[in-house]
Amino acid sequence: MKRLGLAILGIWLVCFPLYGQNAVVAPEPIAARLGMQILEQGGNAVDAAVAIGFALAVTYPQAGNIGGGGFAMVYRPGNEPVALDFRETAPWAAGKDMYLDKKGQVIPGASTLSARSAGVPGTVRGMRELWRCYGHLPWAKLLEPAIKLAKRGHRISLYQHRAILRHLKKLSADADSRRVFCPYGNALAPNAIWHQLALSKTLNRIASHGDREFYRGQTARDFVKELKKKGGIITLSDLENYRAVWRTPVHVAFNGDDLYLMPLPSSGGIVIGEILGMLGNFNYHKLKPDNAETIHLLAEMEKRAYADRNTYLGGPDCFPVYWQRLLAPAYLKKRAREIHLDHATPSSQVLSGLGPVGKSGLMLKESPQTTSYAVMDANGNCVSITYTLNGSFGNGILLKNTGILLNNEMDDFSAKPGSPNLYGLVGGISNAIEPGKRMLSSMTPTIVLRNGRFRMALGSPGGSTIITTVLQTYLNLSLFSMDTTQAMNAPRFHHQWLPDEIRLEPELWKNQKLVEKLKELGQNPHKARGLGNAVIIFQSSNGKVEAVADPRGSGIALSR
Residues 333, 268: Cα–Cα separation, whole Å:
20
Contact between 518 and 540 (Cβ < 8 Å): no
Helix (H, G, I), strand (E, B) or coil at 469: helix
Q: CA 513, 526, 472: angle at the middle one, nearest 5?
A: 80
On the 0-12 / 13-18 / 19+ scale of CB atoms within 10 A, 102 is exposed
Dihedral (C-alpha) 197, 38, 371, 169: value to the nearest 10 degrees? Answer: 20
Q: Is 539 helix (H, G, I), strand (E, B) or coil?
A: strand
Three-state SS at 432: strand
Annotation says 248 is catalytic = no
Sign (positive or negative) of CA dihedral 372, 193, 168, 120: positive
Instruction: Name 267's Cβ contacts closer than 8 Å, sequence gap at least 6.
Output: 309, 313, 440, 441, 442, 467
Distance (Å, whole) CA 102 – CA 19: 61
Catalytic residue among 112, 202, 219, 370: 370
Where do the DSSP E strands lie in 477-533?
A: 493-494, 502-504, 525-527
Contacting residues for 560 by C-beta, under 8 A, at least 6 apart? 21, 22, 36
* Residue 84: strand pairing partners: 72, 246
Q: How far apart are CA 466 and CA 272, in angstroms?
A: 10
Q: CA 268, CA 440: separation in Å to the nearest integer?
A: 10
Reported as type and span, the H/E element at residue 141 is helix 139-152
DSSP for 266-278, written as a single string: B-HHHHHHHHHHH
Residues contacting residue 295 through CB under 8 Å, at least 6 positions apart: 493, 502, 508, 514, 518, 523
Gyration radius of the chain's alpha carbons: 23
Q: How far apart are CA 280 and CA 277, in angstroms?
A: 5
Burial class (CB in 10 A: 0-12, 13-18, 19+), 530: middle
* Beta carbons within 8 Å of 265's beta carbon, 6+ residues apart: 85, 87, 314, 315, 316, 438, 439, 440, 441
Cα angle vertex 265, ends 263, 270, to 5°?
40
Quick check: bond before 29 cis, omega within 30?
A: no
The C-alpha atoms of residue 464 and residue 498 are separated, in whole angstroms, by 11
Kindly state the helix (H) or strand (E) to which residue 194 belongs, with its residue range.
strand 193-194
- Residues labelled catalytic: 370
